[in-house]
Structure 1
């Protein structure tokens, strides 16, 4: 499947930002001035769009450090069409949150299909991105934990991963975590209102890798300190450069 660039912009820090399409898959690629560069796949939690400002800021920071960074809106994510079942699950989730009701089963019905549908498209994007001359070397993954677990378990080209302990991780990915054997950096917000702390700690314990690091910081879901971006760049630098 051919990758087509649809726009490009040279940013103030020298990073080249390009929008692309891969069939029905829209994506963004940020590349540093030096090439070829190792690639980091960067995904936001639970189907949020690729243009989400926090993701874009992280991607630009990584690219300025020397990595190529790519993100896509996979099936059911961002502005792409969602199934009737997905829309119903999102409506049920909003209703349950307003009512203070348990949401685990609703999250499972929403997030599990997102992972199943998104993972193949991320692998298709990886095939196309690695064919570009400005990308070379090992591949890393950063972001959405549930999707990252699936990709790390089935995609041998991913050499290291950084996960954010936020959002719901389906039962299937909790089992697959035992198959994750690559170096791992796991970020936990200690006071994350949407991510029970003990569940995150149990997931960290379940990862099968012998090289895993847990960084825990005080604060809520979106309060990850910016210095973790520096630590993340150093982590990927050790394993990808």
Structure 2
């Protein structure tokens, strides 16, 4: 892991950009003399780590006392995008503009993206836990499809907060039954692009005995700010 820049933000959080091989990432850490728990944070369906809503969530959690890391998924953010990915995105835009079904397009794009992204998150986790300012345990927040796979294959993740707003491939809907860690699931009740019933069915499928659903009225980007505080309290119960 090589840090390429750093700045101390107004809230006291230290923001550092890093590279790990071909993986670009950002690490936010609080002012603390002791090793702090870590939260891996990903935006739905591979949106960039610099996406303002993700950055705001990351800074909020870091100011609360966690180390928070985000990476760009393959072909996302500043990473090179393959011709196949470009075509899938073009097909998705065309179908959405035409009001056509998009599930199969999303399946062909998001499914392979999960397969490529999860190994990179595990490599990043190895490097992060080697830093003296980061201890354990580890939480995960954000992109549901990647989070499900990580919760199944990565024993170092102790709790997860998922956002229901992204497409979840069929493979991860099946894997949800194998998720056994404590779970907080956020649902926007009026999310225009994500069927409510599918999200409720997914919540029902999670195998964990400790799962909580928070549903709020409003569209895709309307998650209330107080959910940030509730999420931090959820992680405090399981990572402190």
Could you say which residue in structure 1 is the equivalent of 2:72? 73
Q: What is the rounded CA distance, in whole Å, between the counterparts of 2:77 and 2:202 in structure 1?
A: 26
Q: Return the alpha-carbon distance in structure 1 between the equivalents of residues 174 and 217 of structure 2.
A: 28
* 2:57 counterpart residue number: 58
Q: TM-score, normalised by structure 2?
A: 0.98
Which structure 2 residues correspond to residues 26-105 of structure 1 after superposition, within 5 A? 26-34=24-32, 35-105=34-104
* Residue matched to 1:22: 20
Q: Note the residue ranges of structure 1 that are not aligned, 5 or more in a row.
A: none
Map 1:1-241; keep pairs closer than 5 Å.
Answer: 3-34=1-32, 35-241=34-240
SS class of match (1:95): helix
Give the TM-score normalised by the residue count of structure 1.
Answer: 0.98
Number of aligned residue pairs? 239
Give a deviation string over 1:6-50, Cα, whole Å, max 9, x none. 111111111111010101111000001113100000000111110
Structure 1 window deviating more from structure 2 (116-125 vs 69-78): it is 69-78
Report the Cα offset of residue 83 of structure 1. 1.9
Q: Deviations over 1:201-230 (max 9, x none)?
A: 000000000000000000000000000000
Partner secondary structure for residue 56 of structure 1: helix
Structure 1 runs (4+) greater than 2 angstroms displaced: none
Q: RMSD of the TM alignment (CA)?
A: 0.6
Unaligned 5+ segments in structure 2 are none
